[in-house]
Amino acid sequence: MNNRILLTGGSGTLGGAILNSGLFKNIYHPTRKELNILDSKKLKRFIKQKKINLIIHCAALARMRECESNIDKAIKINIEGTLNIINVINKLGLRKKTKLIYISSDAVYAGTHGNYSETDTVQPLNIYGWTKAASEYIVKTLDSYLIIRTRFFNKDKIPFKYSAHNIYTSSIEVNKLALIIYKLAKRNSNGIINVGEKKISDYNNYKKFKKKIKPCTKNKIFKNINFKIANNASLNIKKLKNTI
């Protein structure tokens, strides 16, 4: 893979895993202070000067609770930030030369019955999901893009004291996700793809890495939040298996 890469969100969990993997060469990962995706002029100058031809866009406001309490901030970072990147690619005439890998979320799906495939209807439950869905729409205006719908966690930093045995996802460990992103980038994959593991409950997933975590029901989780989250956000990953 011979690319000059810009990684946004390098200080986040996924960005850190991508950098620590050592798989990606010629990768630039400026801090938000060095390069804010909301600053179109700096973004344009950076991409032009560094001759970027692959952007891995991880930067986002991903905390659902904060997105709900500060909708304007969620829209600005998640949607306007993504739009700035697309606009810069277009203004520099790089539609056919620069590819965007956009890290989306399983939160774009309804989260009710699970086994969601890439062609299923987008129907988010909360503000975070809607900002991701809106950003996907913008990304799809490009000629060269890969949208990765996923959910990930760091096995060494599981913050929960308890988790639900009846909430299901296809959540993937972040270091494995970084490896899959590399493989997809190397294959120059395009379009939309689900990335995750087999369906598993939150409790059964996390207890593999945090032995002291306690089980609970989804009702305990739901009563502590004032917005909707998925009951079953598990993903159909047949496309991923056929790709890599």
Measured over the CA atoms of residue 179, residue 17, residue 130 and residue 231, the dihedral's sign is positive
Structural domain count, the chain? 1
CB 109 within 8 A of CB 233: yes
Percent share of the chain, pLDDT over 70:
100
What residues are paired with 57 via a beta bridge? 8, 102
Task: Tell whether 206 is covered by a domain.
Answer: no
Give pLDDT, residue 228. Answer: 94
Amino acid letter at 235? Answer: L
One-letter amino acid of 206: Y
Q: Domain with 97 in it: what CATH number? A: 3.40.50.720
Is residue 59 assigned to a domain? yes
Q: Kindly report the average pLDDT of the chain as a whole number.
A: 97
**Domain presence at residue 57:** yes
Residue range(s) defining the domain that contains residue 106? 5-156+169-198+235-243
Residue 221 lies inside a defined structural domain of this protein: no
Q: What is the pLDDT along the chain (244 residues), one digit of tens a residue?
A: 789 999 999 999 999 999 999 999 999 999 999 999 999 999 999 999 999 999 999 999 999 999 999 999 999 999 999 999 999 999 999 988 999 999 999 999 999 999 999 999 999 999 999 999 999 999 999 999 999 999 999 999 999 999 999 999 999 999 999 999 999 999 999 999 999 999 999 999 999 999 999 999 999 999 989 999 999 999 999 999 999 9
Spacing of C-alpha 113 from chain mean position: 21
Enter the pTM of the model.
0.97
Kindly state whether residue 228 falls inside one of the protein's structural domains.
no
